[in-house]
Amino acid sequence: MGEFAGKPVRAFIVWEPVLPTDWAAPSTSALKRVSDSRATQFWDHGRLLSHAMGEHDRGSVVWDYVAVYAAGTIWKEERPPQASYSGGPVVHVTEQVCAAVAQALQRAQHLSQPNSLGAFADRSISLTRRGVSRKTPDLERYLLRSHSEC
């Protein structure tokens, strides 16, 4: 996210149990991979997001995935809204993600939208992170709290 410093970009990183080593929320060292204050990280123990995106069995788990959404995009349906870009594994698509974010920023600037862009990355994102020591919020509790505030 460093190349978009000062730009209205948000990242939501969702960690979930997929590998045998993923039995607990990510460690502080794992969270440090993304230190930008515009990024929020969640622990999705029940893989709610993966299920919402189409997971129906062990072979269809959605992970190591990134999606870029235009400013003002709101998730209203059972499934997530159409992304302007999506792909993975994250480490292999960083150039495409950066290009999609740059294009979305350009479009938002052209439309004079004040909202920030939302980028969702499942599992981890290969952007540098420094100095995070907070615990990861639980995605289910966050969604329940957010829904009750509507």
For 54-90, how does the pLDDT look when each residue is reduced to its tens digit (9 = 90+)? 999 999 999 999 999 988 888 888 888 889 999 999 9
pLDDT of residue 128: 27
pLDDT of residue 59: 92
Q: For every residue of 55-85, which 3-state class applies, written as one string?
A: CCCHHHCCCCEEEEECCCCCCCCCCCCCCCE
pLDDT of residue 41: 92
pLDDT in tens, 92-149: 999 999 999 999 898 887 765 445 455 544 433 222 233 333 445 666 565 555 444 4
What phi, psi does 39 have (nearest 5°)?
Answer: -105, 140
| Most confident stretch, 1-5, 22-26, 129-133 | 22-26
Q: Are 123 and 63 in contact (CB under 8 A)?
A: yes
Peptide bond connecting 89 to the previous residue in cis, omega within 30 degrees of 0: yes
Give 120's DSSP letter.
E
pTM attached to this predicted model: 0.72
pLDDT of residue 117: 53
Q: Are 107 and 70 in contact (CB under 8 A)?
A: yes
pLDDT of residue 18: 93
Answer yes or no: is pLDDT of 150 > 90: no
For tokens 């862009």, name the residue.
117
pLDDT of residue 19: 92
pLDDT of residue 88: 92
CA distances from 112 to 8, 21, 106, 126, 127 (A): 12, 44, 10, 29, 27
